[in-house]
Structure 1
Amino acid sequence: MQEISLDTLGWDTHFAEHFKPFATQGLIAARVAVEHRGAYIVYAELGELQAELTGRARHDAMSRSDLPAVGDWVAAEMRPGESRVVIHAVLPRRGQFSRNVAGFTTEEQILAANIDTTFLTTSLTSELNQRRLERYLTLAWAGGANPVVVLTKADICDALESAVAKVEAVALGVPVHITSSVTGAGVEELKRYFEGHRTVALLGSSGVGKSSLVNSMLGRELQDVQELRNDGKGRHTTTKRELIVLPRGGLMIDTPGMRELQLWDDTGGLEEAFEDISAIAGECHFRDCRHEQEPGCAVLHAVANGLLPQERLDSYRKLQRELNHLHLKQDRRAASEQRRKLRAVHRSRRGTGRNVGRSTRD
């Protein structure tokens, strides 16, 4: 990559304001393009640079989410005579897509930072799953970026109208785009989301056609694309999260396909994703109605009268239970972390006291 302006990378007054203290220290602004096992590639006005964290920044990070993620803006130091930089700090984020890490650990994993829009991609084949889409929408709304549903492989869908109807039934108020990387249908319409050097995150399960979509947006082959299997699913080809600068302006964060998508902090995402249930719930007799067996529950009444699908309510309940369980685990983790900090402070004080005693005796 040649020299590039910060504006092209999505720089604006929000980040400029937060960068002011670092500018006085002689640091430069850069944006994280790739992260791999603690090593980074960043884009700056000087071009593409290798980067690493300072020891202090790594030590001060209380969790994984405090470390740089793809899409982050960072304050970095350029070492004289070297083509690499050292990252001192991460600027406050604006819009992100996070999940709880895969497995049984309770910890936030930021998949894409500083994004304006989230493309939730799903294939118009047997892979189409309303419940999975509701989960993606919940996380997208919670992260503060606007979700957009991108339906791929329209060229091999035999029941296009019914498939789109299934999506629109759960993606309420969310733009839905029908695309085909084979015919090029619908791809041009997506380019407006990148106007003004905006950043779009591309997310979805393995094999839904994200790599083909990236290549269509770029107008050239960047990501490897493998042939479809007999069931209409592509083979997963993206292996890392990467910030891509598009030739016509705008940026895309491509991500590997996800087989596991655990919820993270809600911050209203569930209510946004299920705005139909939220609206009906306003008519419930009890303000804290859980929509289980309470008398005067408007949500249960809507289900009984065919105004709300039972499957939709079941999905809402499942995600709500998952969030409640997550919050309980988060509280326990926070309490454990607080105890750890207190023990570290006590150990430090005891060590200081012993040193003072030795100095007095000496």
Structure 2
Amino acid sequence: MAQTQVDDLNIESQTLLTTPRELKAKLPLSDSARETVAAGRQAVRDILDRKDPRLFIVIGPCSIHDVDAAHDYAARLKKLADEVQDTLLLVQRVYFEKPRTTVGWKGLINDPYMNDTFKIEDGLHIARKLLLDMAEMGLPTATEALDPITPQYMQDLITWSAIGARTTESQTHREMSSGLSSPVGFKNGTDGGLDVAINAMLSVRHPHRFLGIDSDGKVAVTVTRGNPYAHVVLRGGGGKPNYDSVSVALAEKALGKANVSTNIMVDCSHANSNKDPALQTLVMENITNQILEGNQSIVGLMVESNLKHGNQSIPADLSQLEYGVSVTDGCIGWDDTENAIRHMAAKLRDVLPGRKA
């Protein structure tokens, strides 16, 4: 009697990937890259611990789709970072994975050639090489930890990690974050609610045990120590911003009541800019003024910025892509980026050292 198939009914195929150990052997950390990562993480930790009065700003393209443009942006950002380093710690946003509400381009790792070929092996190599290049420039990097497998391939190059609004409530992502080597920011929910981020922060500081992969790609029971450097990222939600002084004060109160870190990072994009990239600079100005008026809790910002303003759809003919323009969320252009960062640094240079711990 023929047996009825009951397993893998909807699996078309599976292809073995290079292991994390193999990829790291092909693209190893140089001494200079290792120093960039270590120094960047320590600087963010010191800011979160209030040992360093600077703000840290995660800034860069909504997503990386063009490696040449990413290198171009990084070279400009490194120069700007050196200019304002006494006041602001600039960390380049290098997002390789994009959560989709339904379907769409999922990012450089999943589909590096933007043609639905899903050459993930190539994507991992391209992404790691880009992170290495930036680290060797002396530029710390940040990313969103979306796929729970990917950190094994990339986390040794990441200074700061984000957990997005769609995944902050996910147990998988909370467990994963408890083992990340970098500080991690949890965004509030898409509805604007803070509870999911607070619960995530309560969870992530504890040890966890879960299924993951080891450096050789084998399924393993992963035991974490817990991550003491989790904090909230206010990104608005439900069609409303939450970066204003009243919202920030309410967040401080809720975080304090829950006995979690009252450090606050503000995402200048998403609902906080009403999805209009040009409004991000107004959010930056507002945050600057809050600090000038005595705010003690805001320690970081996130800004979506690219070589050119706005965004574009992915065309069928990829040769028609406009250089330096986002293919996901709209970004401010480089000129506005430089002006906003310099303006913020100039206004806060003499104020930040006097902030209370």
Q: Does TM, normalized by the shorter one, top 0.5?
A: no
With normalisation by structure 1, the TM-score equals 0.29
More strand by share: 1
Q: Tell which has more relative contact order, 1 or 2 (C-alpha 8 A, sep 6+).
A: 2
With normalisation by structure 2, the TM-score equals 0.29
